[in-house]
């Protein structure tokens, strides 16, 4: 199993290109199931999760071709052979549930395995299912599968009031509603940039959608959708992660393609901590203002709040901040599993339920640590870059799900690290 060995110390300087968003691309890819015409995605990231979604779509009979070094995905669902998403593929990634709405809307039937994914909480799919039931679908959960069927004449428009904000449920309902008869209104809908990006893509395909950035989305169903070409939005989580590099290590890094509107709440916290963040013509430039950063409190919330997917990375920064910070996780339970590993490096952290209290220390120390999930992996690497001595991070296969060519990008700004064991030619 792969490891990443990091030699800590030293400022980081240079540029890092930010790729297309993993979470957006994983949502856009199932949209091909809504039409028999080609859908092409540009600015796609090269990640293992994208490969998993590709395998899932191909298992349904969709054609998926990867071009331009994997950054363009050409897809077609003109001749699907199945409406069943098998457990052996779905268990590898939670986003697989996003084929349910499109299959049901276009074909009137779908059988999809209940998903697997990261060990960061239960993350149930009940909101997905209730939304589809509101549009008239009959659902039968048996043998680990969702067996769904639309009424004769197809799904029908409905008012769907989400009891809590759910990105995945919003995405599934939004795609299904594009082909439903009549008008669908989603209230308390997620407003993440990935939702906005999906709506923009669906409109390019001929969907009638309004209000995707407001929390209330109105969809007027159409009979058919057409093909389109759509650029995947910038990955705000990769952006925020690499913005932390000079904050933790010192120096100055420019994140090419970065946009402050994607990361405003996070940028405000960095400014409060004493980190200079500025929009440039090419992206976002980041550096420390004056020496050691200050401790700040963080509460994770749905967009436009502080992203849960940047909580672990922010904790790494707070480990060496001046003062005491409290990080409150409101999105997922079990999302402080990186804390014990950071403590192995000398961090002072106390976890009680959904709160973590971090007392900053002047220096972390290199140590052997183990990643527990995707964001925990990169948080340990960030901490290791600022630590004294050598850190060995194990179970880094998680990284391949969400960070493209991470070792190469970090080396490009002066980081001293290497990946060992299994060969990875992209590094």
pLDDT along the chain (427 residues), means of 10: 92 97 97 98 95 97 93 97 93 90 98 66 76 97 93 96 95 98 98 97 98 97 98 97 97 97 97 98 96 96 95 97 97 86 98 96 96 91 97 92 94 96 55
Output the six-digit token pair for 181.
């008869």
The response to whether 416 counts as a known ligand-binding position is no
Looking at residue 119, its pLDDT comes to 41
421 annotated as belonging to a binding site for a ligand: no
- Establish whether 302 is an annotated binding residue: no
Q: Concatenated DSSP letters for 90-143?
A: HTT-GGGGGGHHHHHHHHSEEEEEPP---SS-----HHHHHHHHHTT-EEEEET
Percent composition of the chain: helix, strand, coil (DSSP 3-state, to 5): 35, 30, 40
Stated pTM of the model: 0.93
- Pairing outcome for strands 183-187 and 159-161: parallel
Strand ranges, E, within 283-347: 283-288, 298-299, 324-328
> What span, in angstroms and rounded, lies between the C-alpha atoms of 295 and 318?
6
Residue 73's DSSP bridge partners are 41, 66
Q: What's the CA gap between 218 and 299, in Å, rounded?
A: 30
Domain 3-19+234-420's class?
A: alpha beta
Cis omega (within 30 of 0) for bond into 213:
no
Exposed/middle/buried for residue 250 (C-beta within 10 Å: 0-12, 13-18, 19+)? middle
Alpha-carbon distance of 275 to 284, in angstroms, equals: 12
The closest alpha carbon to 341, from 387, 310, 377, belongs to 377
126 is in an annotated binding site: yes
Query: What residues does each domain of the chain span?
Result: 3-19+234-420, 22-231
Enzyme catalytic residues: 118
The per-residue pLDDT for 114 is 86
Asked if the domains at 3-19+234-420 and 22-231 fall in one CATH topology, the answer is: yes
Q: In the prediction, which pLDDT does 303 show?
A: 95
Instruction: Report the DSSP beta bridge partners of residue 287.
Output: 252, 276
Q: How many other CB atoms are found less than 10 A from the CB of residue 275?
A: 22
208-210 and 216-220: which strand pairing? antiparallel
Q: What is the pLDDT of residue 69?
A: 87
| Dist. CA 289–CA 55, nearest whole Å | 46
Homologous superfamily of domain range 22-231 = Enolpyruvate transferase domain (3.65.10.10)
Specify the pLDDT at position 91. 86
pLDDT at site 316: 98
The predicted structure's pLDDT at residue 422: 60
- 79 burial type by CB count under 10 A (0-12 exposed, 13-18 middle, 19+ buried): exposed
309 is in an annotated binding site: yes
């Amino acid at each position: 199993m792969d490891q990443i060995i990091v030699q800590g110390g030293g400022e980081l300087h240079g540029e890092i290109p930010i790729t297309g968003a993993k979470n957006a691309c994983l949502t856009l890819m199932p949209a091909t199931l809504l039409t028999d015409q080609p859908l092409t995605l540009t600015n796609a990231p090269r990640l293992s999760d994208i490969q998993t979604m590709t395998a899932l779509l191909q298992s349904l009979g969709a054609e998926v071709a990867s071009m331009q070094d994997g950054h363009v995905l050409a897809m077609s669902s003109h001749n699907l052979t199945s409406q069943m998403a098998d457990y052996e593929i779905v268990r590898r990634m939670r986003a697989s549930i996003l084929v349910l709405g499109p299959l049901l809307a276009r074909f009137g039937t779908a059988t999809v395995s209940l998903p697997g994914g990261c060990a960061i909480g239960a993350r149930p799919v009940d909101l997905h299912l209730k939304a589809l039931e509101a549009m008239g679908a009959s659902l039968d959960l048996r043998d680990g599968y969702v067996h769904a069927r639309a009424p004769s004449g197809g799904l029908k428009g409905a008012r769907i009031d989400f009891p809590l904000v759910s990105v995945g449920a919003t995405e599934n309902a939004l795609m299904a509603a594009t082909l439903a008869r009549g008008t669908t209104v989603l209230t308390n809908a997620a407003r993440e940039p990935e939702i906005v990006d999906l709506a923009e893509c669906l409109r390019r395909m001929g969907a009638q959608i309004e209000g995707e950035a407001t929390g209330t989305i109105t969809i007027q169903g159409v009979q058919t959708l057409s093909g389109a070409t759509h650029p995947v939005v910038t990955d705000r989580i990769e952006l925020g992660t690499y913005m932390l590099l000079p904050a933790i290590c010192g120096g100055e890094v420019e994140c090419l393609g970065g946009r402050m509107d994607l990361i405003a709440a996070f940028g405000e916290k960095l400014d409060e901590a004493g980190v200079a963040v500025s929009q440039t013509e090419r992206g976002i430039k980041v550096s420390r203002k004056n020496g050691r950063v200050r401790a700040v409190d963080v509460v994770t919330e749905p967009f436009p709040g502080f992203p849960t997917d940047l909580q672990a990375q922010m904790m790494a920064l707070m480990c060496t901040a001046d003062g005491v910070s409290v990080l409150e996780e409101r999105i997922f339970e079990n999302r402080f599993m990186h804390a014990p590993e950071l403590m192995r490096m000398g961090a002072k952290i106390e976890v009680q339920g959904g709160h973590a209290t971090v007392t900053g220390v002047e220096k972390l120390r290199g140590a052997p640590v183990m990643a527990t999930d995707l964001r925990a992996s990169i948080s340990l690497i960030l901490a290791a870059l600022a630590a004294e001595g050598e850190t060995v991070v194990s179970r880094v296969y998680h990284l391949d799900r969400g960070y493209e060519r991470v070792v190469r990008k970090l080396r490009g700004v002066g980081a001293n690290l290497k990946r060992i064991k299994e060969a990875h030619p992209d590094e």
